[in-house]
Structure 1
């Protein structure tokens, strides 16, 4: 099985994704890096380190890009809270940081584990675009990339047609999608359809009685309010956890389709829109398999197991 590198803009749903990875596949994790997105990168690093400590996983966090490639950062703190963790009063200490920045560490890990490293991205793709620029061999060294981003049904969560991770740094996303890295895109549509957690299901998770379960559910407080008022999701959804689950379990995503994916970078309502082209495309190869369906039961079982 591939080694895993997790790149995250750690907020409440990223935190649950990290719990799944650390609880169910700790031996496969080669590194964790952070990027600005849901929250500024320093908060992302702090939250990632907090979850690693909570799960008794000893690792230093590689802090990455503090802003998109060529535009100012616009966070999603209105969705996840000012601290990214639902503003529920968690006492989060100083992060355990590596002195090696994310893109450098990621390029080195890809060299050391050539053909065996799977990168799982839970935030904007800035660090990956930087690694591609830093090392010309980077794309060829990566076995696979699983991306939480985009939308497979033209229904977005930050504009009517765009998903936040791609919208936040569309230039980086376009670079990554046009690269030769074999990719699986798990769009927001998969989260809406297969990873929405109702209030009753949230109570089932809390009934597990663990600190992990308590934080996993309660940290979605601000997200729940956003879902009720804006996104239309009943309860709250977990896009990053189902993406991470798909990376470690081949039975989570049940159908994919190959596309040449590109991204609209111009400002406006279509900024960050993922264009899915299944026809012959000379300048953009079909290097992305877009998830079409997932197994809700398998995901739920993995979530329950991880939060015990």
Structure 2
């Protein structure tokens, strides 16, 4: 199993990603760190604890991190994921509390104790990672690899015309990460991948619901408000799952169908905040990140269904 640290702003799709990491049999989560993004920090931390309990992994420590972006006021996505980030379905409170060690310290300390062993998967704004990088510029290289659900490589956004939410929420943090990254160390899976290859159609949603397990029911129900928002705003044939498809790539890199290495920057401008600036010219600086562009849609969905299926049917 892949040793993992997961950094999350736990909204409804993050919750499904945590199920994949905790219950697919492919991941070995050593710690979960939380950051403000989809919801305020305390809410996201609560949601991470709940999600791990649903996966049967209440032994995994959860560490709260940064309560706001590096230089900006917090802007959440509660209009997408619900006020509680989990579809507003009145989930019960978690049975345990988060750990006192700050998320940034966890991101710094774990790879020092296990150099080159751990894979980091970020599912929210990159604030925690960026703050950690300001303390240790070599941090990315201390991980086996870093996968980020971040950006939109085709410049088609979900929070603005051209920006994806995680990068838009804290573009300064995204810039810090990109300034330290190399394609061998860091892979970004953007909203363009989710929009193309991770859309849960009505038939997919019905299949998930009819699996009937606690995990399947949870994964279906918490995305209720996301489904409503997707229908009203994005015009997709269902709701998409950006964080689960990013987690799937980390767990099973063979799902990648198309990728590129490129030099990527981030706009901090008022009208283009969070937009990726990708320089593919021959005179461009050396690539700093690997961008996943397409994944195996059926392979991703099968992984999700298998993870949520009853024992003996996986």
TM bucket, shorter chain: over 0.9
Q: Report if the CA contact (8 A) 2:162-2:275 is conserved.
A: yes
State how far apart, in whole Å, the 1-side matches of 2:27 and 2:81 are.
29
Corresponding position of 1:169:
170
Match runs of 1:102-117 below 5 Å: 102-117=103-118
Provide TM-score, normalisation by structure 2: 0.93
Counterpart Cα distance in 2 of 1:96 and 1:253: 36
Contact 2:53 2:94 (8 Å CA) reproduced: no
1:279 aligned to 2:281?
yes
Pick closer, same or farther for the CA change 1:216–1:137 going to 2, 3 Å: same
Q: Which consecutive unaligned segments of at least 5 residues does structure 1 have?
A: none
How far, CA to CA, are the matches of 1:36 and 1:26 in structure 2? Answer: 27
User: Are 1:189 and 2:220 an aligned pair?
Assistant: no
- 2: distance between equivalents of 1:52 and 1:122? 15
Q: How far apart in 2 are the matches of 1:132 and 1:279? A: 28
Q: Which residue pairs with 1:180 in the alignment?
A: 181
Distance 2:234 2:281 in 1: 31
Q: CA deviation at 1:180?
A: 3.0
Q: CA RMSD in A?
A: 1.6
Q: Aligned partners of 1:109 and 1:179: how far apart in 2? A: 19
Partner of 1:42, secondary structure, is: helix
Alignment match, 1:160: 161
Matched, 1:38 2:41: no
Q: How far apart are residue 301 of structure 1 and its match?
A: 0.9
Query: Does 2:152 align with 1:151?
Result: yes
1:63-212 equivalent positions in 2, closer than 5 A: 63-93=64-94, 95-181=96-182, 182-212=185-215
Q: What's the offset of the Cα at 1:135?
A: 2.2
CA-CA distance at 1:273 after TM superposition: 0.3
In the alignment of these two chains, the number of paired residues is: 306
3-state secondary structure, aligned to 1:71: coil
Deviating more after overlay: 195-204 vs 87-96:
87-96
1:99-143 residue CA offsets vs partner (Å, 9 max, x unmatched): 110010111011112122221110000000011012243133122
Instruction: Measure the CA separation in 2 of the matches of 1:43 and 1:251.
Output: 34
TM-score normalised by structure 1 residue count: 0.95
Q: How far apart are the structure 2 equivalents of 1:27 and 1:198?
A: 26
Q: CA deviation at 1:96?
A: 2.5
Aligned-residue offset at 1:234: 1.7
| Contact map agreement 2:147 2:189 (CA 8 A) in 1 | yes
Is structure 2 residue 6 aligned with structure 1 residue 6?
yes
Q: Where has structure 1 moved over 4 Å in runs of 4 or more?
A: none
User: Counterparts of 1:26 and 1:259 in 2: how far apart (Å)?
Assistant: 29
Q: 2-side partners of 1:251 and 1:149: how far apart?
A: 20
Aligned residue for 1:213? 216
| Matches of 1:225 and 1:59, distance apart in 2 | 32
Equivalents in 2 of 1:52, 1:80: separation in Å? Answer: 18
SS at match of 1:110: helix
Q: Is the 8 A contact 1:147 1:184 kept in 2?
A: yes
Deviation track 1:277-302 (CA, whole Å, cap 9, x = no partner) reads 233667x6412111121101110110
Residue 20 (structure 1) aligns with? 20
Equivalent position SS for 2:144: strand
Q: CA offsets per residue over residues 41-68 of structure 1, 9 Å max, x none? A: 1011000001111112112201110000
Q: Secondary structure, in 3 states, of the residue corresponding to 2:90?
A: coil
CA contact (8 A) 2:27 2:251 kept: no
